[in-house]
Copies of this chain bind each other. A is one copy, B any other.
Amino acid sequence: ADAVPEDSLWPLPQWVRTYPRQLQLAPSRFQLVHGAGSSAGPGCGLLQDDAFRRYYEYMFGHSLRRTWGRRPLAARGEPELFQLQVVIEAGDPGCDGHPQLTSSEAYHLTVTEPVAVLKAPEVWGALRGKPMLFTLNSLFRFLVNESEINDFPRFAHRGVLLDTSRHYLPLKSILTNLDAMAFNKFNVLHWHIVDDQSFPYQSIYFPELSDKGAYSSNLIYTPTDVRLVIEYARLRGIRVIPEFDTPGHTQSWGKGQKDLLTPCYSGEQPTGSFGPVNPVWNTTYDFMATFFKEISSVFPDEFIHLGGDEVDFSCWKSNPEVKQFMKKQGFGIDYAKLESYYVQNILDIVSSYNKGQMVWQEVFDHKAQLKPDTIVQVWMANNYAHELSSVTGAGYTAVLSAPWYLDYISYGQDWKKYYTVEPLNFPGSEKQKKLLIGGEACLWGEFVDATNLTPRLWPRASAVGERLWSSSNVTNLQDAYKRLTNHRCRMLRRGIAAEPVFVGYCAHEARGP
């Protein structure tokens, strides 16, 4: 065999058994069908139209002419595998819905003559399980071993953060990245869509935000673009959580929305510069209420990320109106209290639209009153285990990204560093451990745009992907190296320009650049 299947499974399933008997697949006859008893049928676009066809092409696409023509099926002795039957077990298959934090991604795949059966409680599990048949299938041969996989994710939230403010990312880069995420069983695109540098999100209510705050009038995401990203993600079982980070990281907001940011002062005089969002005016909250009403409706996910990191207090401290407000509220000189006051207001606004919230860890650290279901994202590298302990100890849900800032590049095989993180290795009770629902690989955009996004992120993020999906005892680096190397070649074959893990080559090399 050209490739031993187990050598290339990534992320490793919870349970796999492979038998020696091999079955052959005839591209001209092999069918993907809905099995008996499935709640999903031909009307299930999520399974039928897109995802079925896509993997079928990955599997048979380029090699169809090259290989198949030369090997007549009749000449071969192996029994034939005719079908993959997909059975969705839930009463409502949810084919038109969006994936959620609570969605089941479990699946059970058996490959035996004459049919393979993929069972999943929900369609999202079927999306995760379907490619496995084509992964088990040997690389350049239409053969698959009889096998059985029982699989489910260890963590429910497995995200990749992309930053489209420091550099604009063309739609194609985002969609390609969603493909790569699906190949690695990630299920959350954390879209850090705006920041100080630019505001590429084209708002329906406030078009001036991108008219004046985007880098350029053509470097924006229109409502159509955003819908496309969300649908492309949905078809791959990926949630899109938008982040609109306030009150800091908002310089670009100020260009299109007057009187939103805090004017900074030097003594009695405004300097002409602006600081974070102005927390003392009612107009700020009126604006935010309208803005987040739009966001709540544009983005279907249950959660919105509200940011809240790295608020610089110096401008607030310089502003007479802010100082007066501090006095009135009895905040003394504790500007963290002012920050919490602001964040609280935003949290209340967003809650009123029935959205759950994600926030960066400072919002928790500065003691804002959080809704019990708020998700706190732990990002500071320094002693993040302690922070996980505190956040979950206070009863909040946590997502870990501190050890997975993939924008911090270094020489060599740094995937090992990301791979050897054990997320649950923090002090806390069983109950606390349950509150850590996953993690995110973050690729901040200061030095990343369409020229280098894909090879910089992949396959380094794959290490995070396996850590979050596979069992905690999947930790053998030598075995992971072999599988990751093969997995990277598979990504390349599927059109993802993932960089090499180390020296060597792939059977199907990149043509580049």
Question: Which of A's residues lie within 8 Å of B, judged by CB?
Answer: 166-168, 170, 172-173, 176, 197-198, 215-216, 219, 407-412, 445-456, 492, 497-500, 502-505, 507, 509-513
Contact = CB atoms under 8 A, between A and B. Distances in A.
A450 B512 CA distance: 5
A477 B466 CA distance: 42
A500 B412 contact: no
A123 B186 CA distance: 55
Contacts of A504: 167, 197, 215
Which of A166, A173, A449 has the most chain B CB atoms inside 10 A of its CB?
A449
Given A168-B509, A411-B408, A503-B166, A498 B447 contact: no
B411 A500 contact: no
A143 to B, nearest CB: 22
A406 to B, nearest CB: 11
B412 A411 contact: no
9 contacts: A168-B509, A170-B510, A170-B511, A170-B512, A197-B504, A216-B507, A446-B502, A448-B500, A451-B497
Q: How many copies does the complex hold?
A: 2
B167 A505 contact: yes
B500 A215 contact: no
A498 B451 contact: yes
Contact of A447 (B170, B197, B453, B502): B502
B451 A499 contact: yes
A503 B166 CA distance: 5
Contact of A450 (B407, B448, B513): B513
Contact of A513 (B410, B412, B454): B454
Contacts of A503: 166-167, 197, 445-446
Nearest to A413: B447
Given A449-B500, A450-B511, A451-B454, 8 more contacts: A166-B503, A198-B505, A215-B505, A409-B411, A446-B503, A452-B452, A452-B499, A452-B500
